[in-house]
């Protein structure tokens, strides 16, 4: 029996394309298991259900090989464990077809290893590009990451308190804002603004 497995990384992503491909391959919806979780974790209920459901002679079918795992080692280990149980793995949309039900085919084995490796390389390159973009943005004075959700009224109050000479501790107590938030959203107090020769608050 063919068992389908589909996965997206977040709840906001759509499984429709993978489910349509599995249906077109003749796999009944009742035999398709799904997850909306990152492939970085093996704690995926849908995958665990699919693995428990699989029996000797069954084939686990996925849209592409990276739906199973994010690293070459994880994917190889999973396929090896399935093979030991007599369960094959087949992909539907990879450029190099993977079908481990043909264990003696050198091309099938090569395709499997190459696709897993390319998937991991692409994720590594994507992470490096994202880190580079963040570094460039920071160097140019642009803030990166999630949009701020700090209450503007609290920031205005904090700025007023600081202008009146309040210390950081006093500001955090009166506004409820964290020190890191103050450092991030309020520009440093210039030495010229200090009186009495005391060091800047931050």
Active site residues: 9
Give CA–CA dist 26/170, Å, rounded: 67
Mention every residue, 6+ apart, whose C-beta is less than 8 A from residue 135.
none
Give CA–CA dist 8/19, Å, rounded: 11
For the chain, how long is the longest CA-to-CA vector?
83
Edge-to-edge strands, sheet with 32-36: 32-36, 2-8, 59-62, 88-91
């Amino acid at each position: 029996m063919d068992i389908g497995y589909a996965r997206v990384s977040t709840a906001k992503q759509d499984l429709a394309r993978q489910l349509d491909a599995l249906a077109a391959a003749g796999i009944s919806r009742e035999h398709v298991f799904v997850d909306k979780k990152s492939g970085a974790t093996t704690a995926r209920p849908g995958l665990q259900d699919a693995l428990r459901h699989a029996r000797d002679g069954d084939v686990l079918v996925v849209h592409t090989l990276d739906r199973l795992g994010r690293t070459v080692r994880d994917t190889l280990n999973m396929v090896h464990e399935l093979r030991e149980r007599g369960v094959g793995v087949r992909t539907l949309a990879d450029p190099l077809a993977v079908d481990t039900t043909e264990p003696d085919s050198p091309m099938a084995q090569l395709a499997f290893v190459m696709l897993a490796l390319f998937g991991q390389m692409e994720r590594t390159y994507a992470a490096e590009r994202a880190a580079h973009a963040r570094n460039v943005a920071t160097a140019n004075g642009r803030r990166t990451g999630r949009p701020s959700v700090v209450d503007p009224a609290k920031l205005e109050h904090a700025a007023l308190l600081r202008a009146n000479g309040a210390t950081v501790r006093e500001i955090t107590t009166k506004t409820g804002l964290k020190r890191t938030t103050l450092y991030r959203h309020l520009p440093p107090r210039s030495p010229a603004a200090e009186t009495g020769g005391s060091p800047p608050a931050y």
